[in-house]
Chains A and B, each alone.
Chain A
């Protein structure tokens, strides 16, 4: 008996996996990624003559959990029209029965690769603010991402930041929002999604991500998400992930507090990270906007809400903020003293 080599097996699998795009307006180009749920290819939209990313399920069938999830992901994306969220173009079923959707083909680098070329902390924070912007928008539309991590953030060549992979997104139902706001008045209240495609999908979610089902990425998912408490998740779960993401941007690791050059993480930034990743959701920022506001305040040289400064820290921050101006005044005074000394010689 002769066994097939791994290479031959891989080729056979690729052949079987390759989607049959007959009857669609797409022409397959190449495979770019493979995940647990599906495979992402680049394809050419022959009508519009542009390159798109095509995500297709591994398995055929339109009524399984995976098919529901992929369709739901496409609908969630379609409802979230925002420059920071990858736009979906089309959703459908292939001739072989597999569900697919097409989205913008993003040319860029994932965040973890991107930061290797960006040393400046302010530049990294500006990227972070753009991530916050997209996530805050999704929250405002009643959608939690639940899988925010560097690999799911793409940074384009012109600095555009796109939040990708909404496969684990959770659409918050009205009653969940009501319960959360009663439990904690400071928590963000999600309104019932206005768009029909999101609202009609809400009933599907419990089936996909019911209580006890742990989905997410270790190191980035919140403790309540890791415990599988799906019905208790709200914006603060994504805020936890954003806190880990912020720490990753600043230190290269989601949980370590020293940056690559050996310098310590600034106290204000460390406090923002600590507040957003507090174990108890009630101790975190109540919404993404407040977290982003603290980061913006740090960038502007202002005090952040997460950290109470000592008088020396305040003076240091004031000096850093107005350093050149203070030096100019000092130069002026020094020059004045020199003139006086010159005159009294």
Chain B
């Protein structure tokens, strides 16, 4: 499995899981399907970006850092949107979102096939 596909699948899976935990928050439980959907999309986008980064840059610390930053940034964008009662859930969204990015960053650096190198030409 290549790094972009790995990032995409892992990002989507962890994004969906991340969204599903909203079920434990009674205030937003009625929106659970929309939350899961958007959280999955967020994970997908983060996963693809992190996967492409892993293809270009082969460095575990940089990969993890990039994943953390992308995860945090996308989660922050989501956290900016308030719930129907006007509340923001910065910590509840940004912390897990950043961790998801970190995990995807680690996984794409550590696992997944790197693209084949072009043979040298004469």
Instruction: Using CB atoms and an 8 Å cutoff, list the residues of chain A in contact with chain B.
Output: 324-325, 328-329, 331-332, 335-336, 339-340, 343-344
B102 in complex: contacting residue of A328, A336, A343, A344, CB < 8 Å: A328
Binding site for A on B (CB under 8 A): 14, 18, 21, 24-25, 91-92, 95-96, 99-100, 102-103, 106-107, 110-111
Is B96 a contact of A335 with CB atoms below 8 Å? yes
B99 contacts A332, CB within 8 Å?
A: yes
B103 near A340 (CB under 8 angstroms)? no
Known contacts A325-B110, A339-B96, A343-B25: A332-B103 contact under CB 8 Å: yes
- The answer to whether B110 and A335 touch across the interface, beta carbons within 8 angstroms, is no
Give the dominant DSSP class at A's interface: helix
A329 to B103: give the CA distance in the assembly, Å: 7
Cβ–Cβ contact B96 & A336, under 8 A:
yes
Q: Which residues of the other chain, B, contact A325 by a CB distance below 8 angstroms?
A: 103, 106-107, 110-111
User: What residues on A are CB-neighbors of B100 within 8 Å?
Assistant: 332
Indicate whether A335 sits within 8 Å of B95 (C-beta atoms), given known contacts A325-B106, A328-B102, A328-B106: yes
Q: Can you identify 19 A-B contacts, CB atoms within 8 angstroms?
A: A324-B106, A324-B110, A325-B103, A325-B106, A325-B107, A325-B110, A328-B102, A328-B106, A329-B103, A332-B96, A332-B103, A335-B95, A335-B99, A339-B92, A339-B95, A340-B21, A343-B24, A343-B25, A344-B24
Considering the complex, give the chain A residue whose CB is closest to the CB of B91: A339
What residues on B are CB-neighbors of A339 within 8 Å?
91-92, 95-96
- Residues in chain A near residue B92, CB distance under 8 A: 339, 343
How close is B60's CB to chain A, nearest CB, in angstroms? 10
Given A332-B99, A335-B99, check contact A340 B106 (CB 8 Å).
no
